Amino acid sequence: MYPGNSHASYNNQYQRPSGPPPSRIYQPPAGAPPSRQYERPPAPPPNWGNQQTQTYQGTGGISYQQPTQQPPMPNFNMQNQQINGTNNVQQFQYSSCTGRKKALLIGINYIGTSNALRGCINDAHNMFNFLTQTQGYKAEDIVMLTDDQSELVKVPTKANMIRAMQWLVKDARPGDSLFFHYSGHGGQEEDQDGDEEDGYDDCIYPVDFQQAGSLIDDVMHDIMVKPLPAGCRLTCIFDSCHSGTALDLPFCYRAQDGGIKEYNVWKESSGDAVNLVTGYLTRNTGLMMSSVSNVFKRIKATSGSRAEQIKQAKMSPADVIMFSGCKDSQTSADANEAGSFTGALSYAFIKVLRENPIQSYLTLLQNIRAVLAQKYTQKPQLSSSHQIDPNVRFIM
C-alpha cells in the first residue's frame, strides 16, 4: 500500500498510495530521546485435479468455499519437480511446520506525512494476536517494527528492516515455520537487471526511504528466500500496493482452479499501446519511445531461454508461500473494518482462518478474495517458490 494513496475510495476507506510518501526528514515519535540518528544501511508434479468444494455462509453474509472432504496434508518427503517438461529437475520439500516458529511483523503508518496511513500499525498488532493465539507462535520469537515506537531498534528504518529480515531466516532448519508480514506503502521502480516480466521491480517503503531508499523485491528475495533450506516454510503477507510479485516467487496461481498463471505480454502492454498512440497524436517522442521500450523489455523477459533462466533462478528447495494484497498493477486498501482501521488483505487473511482454520491453499485464496470482493476491486495473489498442489491443506 502506499506512496500515493492507492487504496480504494469507499466510506471510511483510504487508498494506500502507489508511490512513496512526500519528501521529509523522519522524526521519531513524541517522547523519543532528541539525539536519535538514523544512518543509511550498508550497502513428482502436483495433482491438478479439481477440488470439490461446497459453499457455506460466514459472518456478514459472505459465501465461502470449503472442501467437501478435509484437504490432505502435503507430502513432507523431498520431491522432484520437472521444469516445464524438460530434463531439468528441481528438488523441493514441503515443511511440516513442527519446528521452531519465528515471525517478523512490520507496520508503517508514516506518521506526520501528508500521505499517512491509518491501519498498518493495527495490522501488525492484529497479526501478533492471531499468531500467538491460534498458530502457536511465542511472543519472544516475534519481532515487531512500527513507527509509533521510541526505541530506535524497533522503528522500521531500512537498516532495521534488513537486520530483522536477516534475523528471521538465520539458522533456519527443515520443519521450521517462519512468518513475514508487511503492511505499509508499496510501489514500483524500473527494473535494472531484466528479470521482471513487466519491466518493473516491486518495492516497499521503509519509514526513512527518503534518506535510505526503498527495498526492492530482488533484495528481499536474496535476504529471505535464497538462504532457506529444503523443508523450511516461509509464509509472507504483503499488504501493500503493487505487491503481486513482491518476493519474486516464480509460480503464481489462478483463483478459479489453482492452475499456474501465464504472463500475457500483450494484455499487460495495453497501457503502453495507448501511450504509444497518444504520443504519436501529440508528437510526444519521449512518450512513444518509453512505451516501445517497455514492451520490448517485457518480450525479452518472457521469451525462450531467458524466461526459463529467470524462473529457475527464483526457484527454491524451501517451502516459500506469499499472499499479496493485489496484482502488481493494482493498489491495496487502507480500510475501516469492524470499527477499526486495517489493511484489507490483513483483515481478510485473519478473518478467514479464524472462522475456518481448515483450508486448502486454493480455498484460502478464494475465500480471501470473497471477503475483499464485498467492497474492494483489488485481487489478492498466491505465489510460491516451487509448484505446490493447491488442493493440499494450508498449514503454517
Tens of pLDDT along 35-78? 333 333 433 333 334 455 666 666 666 777 776 678 999 999 99
The CA-based angle 345-232-384, given to 5 degrees, is 45
How high is the mean pLDDT of the chain? Answer: 81
The residue among 126 and 90 whose pLDDT is bigger is: 126
Q: Which residue has the higher pLDDT, 21 or 293?
A: 293
pLDDT for the residue 219: 95
Q: Give residue 225's pLDDT.
A: 97
Reported confidence tier of residue 307, pLDDT bands at 50, 70, 90: low
Active-site residue flag, 232: no
* Longest pairwise C-alpha distance within the chain: 62
Residue 15: per-residue pLDDT: 56
Closest CA to 255 of 344, 380, 388, 345: 380
pLDDT at 87: 67
pLDDT digits (tens, 9 = 90+) for 141-199: 999 999 999 999 999 999 999 999 999 999 999 999 999 999 999 999 988 766 666 67
* Residue owning grid cell 528475495: 221
Digit-coded pLDDT (tens) for 73-118: 999 999 987 766 566 778 899 999 999 999 999 999 999 988 899 9
Task: Give domain limits for the chain.
Answer: 3-30+47-262+309-384, 267-299
Q: What is the DSSP letter of 260?
A: B
Grid coordinates of 395: 498449514
Which entry of 7, 120, 181, 185 is annotated as an active-site residue? 185
CA distance 244 to 331: 10
What number does CATH give the domain 3-30+47-262+309-384?
3.40.50.12660
Residue 132 burial (CB count, 10 A): 16
The yes-or-no answer on residue 241 being catalytic is: yes
Segment 245-258 shows an average pLDDT of: 91
Dist. CA 377–CA 364, nearest whole Å: 18
Q: Find all residues with CB under 8 Å of 124, minimum gap 6, and list them.
A: 105, 106, 107, 144, 145, 146, 181, 183
pLDDT on residue 281: 72
Instruction: Please pick, among 241, 242, 326, 386, the residue that the annotation labels catalytic.
Output: 241
CA–CA separation, 115 vs 334, rounded Å? 12
Strands 53-57 and 319-324: unpaired
State the SS3 of 219-242.
HHHHHHCCCCCCCCEEEEEEECCC
